[in-house]
A and B are shown apart, each in its own frame.
Chain A
């Protein structure tokens, strides 16, 4: 049985309380970290090969080290708890079942980057996770864990997928619509309220206490050469036991589907979305890939937020793309023309194809529009939409053509 790190406390019904967290040696890593030099903490996280688990997979320690050394003003730590990637639900579990792990991770990260203030941006729909996490923050204040050099503000979003993009999140935190900002400057140089800011995902920060407590080598050893640790895979769609599963990042997609009880429906696998809605789709014969950042990059997809959506051979791929295309059309923030126009246009085309009203050249038009727009926008949202547009059509073109009259 592989090691369980992030979900170690989930089976305890009281796991969200400070008493239960402390009983499982909670905050021992913080006690250790507060005796360490900030730079030594960052070094440990670098050596652990921790990569961001929100979607981009950027090395966490390297990100922390980008805070300007000569900066004398405030530095902010912002937690991205705006989970919204289709097929992902891991952070909801962490906020509800182990909120103190996040607070401890924040305390340690804040020491590493010399931040006195953290903001936790929780998606507005997450009412129960927000209540649970706010309760834990109150316990932490009441017992002096918070409020003595580090403060935490819990901030609720108001419904917008784009606020999961880190600069869109910062705009929203500043009281504006969630429009992403041009990078550079990166948030580590000029982030929330114009100050150096580190934005980390919930799960990423929950990895930090175990790294400090048990050492970078142990954590790095759990994963692959380029990514340490385990992570939480959200598995849904046509599997017998949809749930969140923790596994080392070296697990293969095939093994993960087996962990989730195997394919349901017809029992015959057709395709898998390996890393949330924005990841390129994989066919049934592409599932021996390892579920780490580089493993999926090598097959032209991405691990993203590790939301795995399984499709048996009764699923219509054009219909699946229509559902995702509707999502991108709805969630495009409207700032950049290629994204705003293409997401709406492509949804209309995929929709009419599914309804049997597709035009002969629609598929080539979609591919052309998708490829031209990629890389031309302020943030990665449109690139995320292009992944499914291109891969669904290129890998299952016959299925689309069968729906188009006179194709």
Chain B
């Protein structure tokens, strides 16, 4: 999907309370633009993903160029430029998880979800990612499912976790 096609129909804007929160966050930093990452997190929670329109809107809140905001959004892995699934399953494929069987977990997920890492299921339920070290190597293999760390994964545990995602 091109960025232009992903434009949502509604106007992109925070509520009054959210704008107040943006101003509070900006006041915490010697230069208000220090709050850019936290505000982008807020924007993603609010709008689902960070479209070009969201970037433009955030740029106006910071009196920054849209290009600066775009550069920041695309630098970091946790900001999504396109709408991800309702749940994100991010499997660590770094060394400790690899040694503990991450390739098997990844193969199992590919087969169960019918998609490759980086893709979203057709029903929009799950975005499947492989990611670098999440620093829970003592419980490898592991994954982050939305906000939670899921540890000591097995194919059976993956099945149970997937069953819980609506």
Contacts and interface: CB of A to CB of B under 8 A. Distances in A.
B137 to A, nearest CB: 4
Interface string B120-149: 000000000001111111111000100111
Contacts of B37: 155-158, 172, 175
Interface string A313-350: 00100011001101100110100000000000000000
A166 interface: no
The residue in B71, B95, B148 that gathers the most chain A C-beta atoms within 10 A of its C-beta is B95
A234 B137 contact: yes
Contacts of B95: 86-87, 237, 273, 277, 309, 320, 323-324, 327
B30 A193 contact: yes
A98 to B, nearest CB: 17
B78 interface: yes
Nearest to B94: A86
B28 A175 contact: no
A326 B31 CA distance: 36
B138 A244 contact: yes
Interface in A121-141: 123-128
B42 to A, nearest CB: 11
Contacts of A47: none
A382 interface: no
Given A160-B77, A236-B96, A153 B28 contact: yes
B132 A330 contact: yes
Contacts of B31: 174-175, 193
B140 A242 contact: yes
B79 A175 contact: no
Contacts of A244: 138
A155 B38 contact: yes
Interface string B84-110: 000000000111101110000000000
B143 to A, nearest CB: 11
A159 B99 contact: no
A104 interface: no
Contacts, number: 148
Q: Which of A74, A86, A273, A333 has the most CB of B within 10 A?
A: A86
A331 B94 CA distance: 12
Given A87-B133, A89-B136, A277 B30 contact: no
A127 B147 contact: yes
Contacts of B138: 89, 234-236, 242-244
Contact of A177 (B71, B94, B131): B71
B164 to A, nearest CB: 18
Interface in B39-96: 40-41, 62, 64, 68, 71-72, 75-79, 93-96
A175 B41 contact: no
Given A156-B41, A324-B95, A236 B137 contact: yes
A92 interface: yes
Nearest to A265: B99
Contacts of A159: 76-79
A195 interface: yes
Given A89-B136, A125-B144, A153-B28, A320 B35 contact: no
B34 interface: yes
A128 B148 CA distance: 8
Contact of A86 (B72, B79, B96): B96
A178 interface: yes
A88 interface: yes
Interface in A234-253: 234-238, 242-244
Contacts of B62: 175
B132 A86 contact: yes
Nearest to A90: B135
B25 to A, nearest CB: 9
B22 to A, nearest CB: 13
B36 interface: yes
B76 A158 contact: yes
B93 A323 contact: yes
Interface in A91-150: 91-92, 123-128
Contact of B33 (A126, A174, A177, A307): A174
A92 B64 CA distance: 34
Contact of B137 (A123, A195, A242): A242
A244 B139 CA distance: 11
Given A175-B31, A277-B94, A327-B94, A160 B76 contact: yes
Given A155-B38, A159-B79, A273-B95, 19 more contacts: A83-B135, A86-B137, A127-B147, A175-B31, A175-B33, A175-B35, A175-B64, A176-B71, A178-B75, A193-B29, A236-B99, A236-B100, A236-B137, A277-B133, A307-B137, A309-B137, A323-B94, A323-B95, A331-B132
13 contacts: A87-B96, A127-B147, A128-B147, A153-B29, A155-B37, A158-B41, A175-B31, A175-B34, A175-B37, A176-B36, A177-B76, A242-B140, A309-B96
3 closest A-B pairs (Cβ-Cβ)? A175-B36, A159-B77, A236-B137
